[in-house]
Copies of this chain bind each other. A is one copy, B any other.
Amino acid sequence: MSGYDIRQKIESSTANFWSESFGQIYPALKKLSNEGLVTMRELQPEGQRLRKEYRITPAGKVRLREWLAEPCGLQVRREELLLKLFFGDKAPKGAMRAAVEQRLAVAKRELESYGPIERELAAKMLTHPAAPYWQLTLEFGKAQAAATRAWCEQTLRELDKLEKAKTRDKGGRRDAR
């Protein structure tokens, strides 16, 4: 594939858990090429624009297998929403509610988007040997999004309770702007 192709493939498949920009892809391909892990072929078929097609080499396949066997580095994923919520008592009145609602909307949209993807996948299940693995990544997304949705809904209820308690507390003294 070309760098451009790769970008598109990424966007249409792994975008939910991995994404790369051109600024990463093109230099990476050059580097892989220098290391002999991929080969490049310039194509310009009959009045077409220039294309550089890359193809993995046997050495590249070996390296891929090695990488797949390496343990995953577990990074702390930063959750801006949680950081804000952590300081929730310092926030203006409806701010936390709005933030959680936004997140809930994202989770819902995500869950909806998985429907069509799942149907596409089901069709590929018999032809593509990797399809069962794609299914597993999809299941992860579904599980995570569902958990997020449930948490958001519960959290909205809790925020309402907190708000009420604050108002009740001293009949509206010192409101949060």
Instruction: List residues of A whose CB falls within 8 A of some B CB.
Output: 13-19, 61, 64-65, 67-69, 71-92, 95-96, 98-99, 102-103, 106, 129-130, 132-134, 136-137, 139-140, 143-144, 146-148, 150-151, 154-155, 158-159, 162, 177
Contacts and interface: CB of A to CB of B under 8 A. Distances in A.
Contact of A18 (B13, B78, B89): B78
Given A18-B79, A76-B16, A85 B136 contact: yes
Nearest to A14: B86
A19 B134 CA distance: 31
Contacts of A67: 84
A52 B80 CA distance: 27
Contacts of A76: 15-19
Given A65-B92, A148-B143, A74 B106 contact: yes
Contacts of A87: 64, 68, 130, 133
Nearest to A56: B90
Copy number in the complex reads 2
A115 to B, nearest CB: 18
Contacts of A132: 88, 158, 162
B64 A92 contact: no
